[in-house]
Amino acid sequence: MYVLKMVNGKLYIGFTNDIRKRVKEHHNAEVFTTKKFLPVKLIYYECYLSNEDARQRELMLKKFGSSYSHLKHRITNSIKGLQGREHPELDNG
């Protein structure tokens, strides 16, 4: 499960079994939902052994405002871009 910050300041939530490939697809405008809002920046991700666990987490964040609000609160500085460790190997594809 991962979170991208789009150029318009909004967040995009998705899940994948290959985060490097998926982030590269976002950067290359191959993802319909984000291609109009480039550049995007990977600001958060969670790793799961089970694809179903990742999918459930993504759906929980999209369906339940309290889960989404809690995550936004936890990563406030990352959203603002003020601090947080960079992951160039993931961010630049």
Task: Please count the residues of the chain.
Answer: 93
Amino acid type, 81: G
Which residues of the chain carry a pLDDT beneath 50? 83-86, 89, 93
pLDDT given at position 2: 95
Residue in the block written with tokens 């697809």 = 25
- Kindly report, residue by residue over 15-38, the tens digit of the pLDDT: 999 999 999 999 999 999 999 999
What are the domain boundaries of the chain?
2-88
Instruction: Identify the CATH number of the domain defined by range 2-88.
Output: 3.40.1440
* 14 SS3 class: strand
Q: What are the start-end ranges of the E strands in the chain?
A: 2-5, 11-14, 41-45
pLDDT given at position 80: 86
The torsion angles phi and psi of 42, rounded to 5 degrees, stand at -70, 120
Cα–Cα distance measured from residue 83 to residue 35, given in angstroms and rounded to the nearest whole number: 26
